[in-house]
Amino acid sequence: MATQVKLSSSNAHNLTVLAASCNVNDILKDISPRWKMQILCKISSGTSQFSRLKDLFPTLSDQILGKRLAELVNEELVIKKQVPGTVPLQTSYIATPKGMALMEIMDQLHEWGEKEW
């Protein structure tokens, strides 16, 4: 739940300068919200339902889990799919090729961190 930055603030100016100098900052901002990469990691390794994700992260609220899933869908990192023939109708989340590629990068970053940090 990020607060909006006032456009006339020095913080807004700094964000603009950072974005112009290195687009990695924008990417990091988009993938860094709490729980986002942990959720994508579990989806990419086969956990596909809201209730199963909730079980894996018991301190994560339903509201934030839903919000992060919606962000992942909007960013085309996962797709939301209705499971036919289920009553009540169930939804599953599946990592897209784009999401899987991001997870490969995150795994490499993790390995680098283990070695170098």
pLDDT of residue 87: 87
Q: Is the pLDDT of residue 115 over 80?
A: yes
Among 69, 2, 63, smallest CA distance to 40 is for 69
Q: For residue 50, which phi and psi values (nearest 5 degrees)?
A: -55, -50
Instruction: Please tell me whether residue 95 adopts helix, strand or coil conformation.
Output: strand
Among 113, 115, 117, smallest CA distance to 37 is for 113
pLDDT tens digit sequence for 78-93:
999 998 888 888 999 9
Output the average pLDDT for the chain: 91
| 28 Rama class: left (phi>0) / alpha (psi -120 to 50) / beta | alpha
pLDDT tens digit sequence for 3-41:
676 777 888 888 778 777 777 888 888 999 999 999 999
pLDDT tens digit sequence for 41-55:
999 999 999 999 999
Tell me the domains of the chain and their CATH numbers. 1-32 (no CATH), 33-116 (1.10.10.10)
Indicate the pLDDT class of residue 71, thresholds 50, 70 and 90: very high
